């Protein structure tokens, strides 16, 4: 972990998701020293929160797009409605 991670605010959802997947792979490998694992976990949590915020923002935009002429949502469903 000698490389400085990019600023989360500047990362796209896709880049943050790839970085989160890298963190998970690193943690699952079991080859990362304990202190580095803790730092990786913290980075992973920050990436997870960033991804969730981006998804929430996308959902809000979609709901705005499908709003009827009166400003009320014509029809919306949660993203995970079919689970």
If residue 79 lies in a helix (H) or strand (E), which one and from where to where?
none
Range of the domain at 59: 10-65
Please report whether residue 71 resides in a domain.
no
Q: Helix (H, G, I), strand (E, B), or coil: what is residue 67?
A: strand
Please report whether residue 58 resides in a domain.
yes
Please report whether residue 26 resides in a domain.
yes
What is the rounded distance in angstroms from the CA atom of residue 54 to the CA atom of residue 51?
A: 5
> Whole-model pTM above 0.75?
no
Please report whether residue 72 resides in a domain.
no
Any idea what the CATH number is for the domain that residue 20 is in?
1.10.287
Give the model confidence (pLDDT) of 24-41 as tens digits. 999 999 999 999 999 999
* Residue 6 half-sphere exposure toward CB, CA atoms < 13 A: 14
Q: How many domains does the chain have?
A: 1
Long-range contacts of residues 29-38, Cβ cutoff 8 Å, at least 24 apart: 36/1
pLDDT along the chain (83 residues), means of 10: 67 95 95 95 96 93 75 60 49
């Amino acid at each position: 972990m000698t490389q400085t991670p990019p600023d989360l605010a500047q990362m796209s959802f896709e880049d943050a998701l790839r970085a989160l997947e890298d963190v998970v792979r690193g943690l699952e490998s079991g080859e990362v020293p304990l202190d580095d694992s803790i730092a990786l976990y913290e980075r992973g949590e920050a990436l997870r929160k960033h991804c969730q915020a981006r998804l929430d923002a996308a959902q809000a935009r979609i709901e705005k797009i499908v709003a009827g002429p009166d400003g009320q949502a014509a029809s919306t469903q949660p993203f995970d409605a079919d689970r």
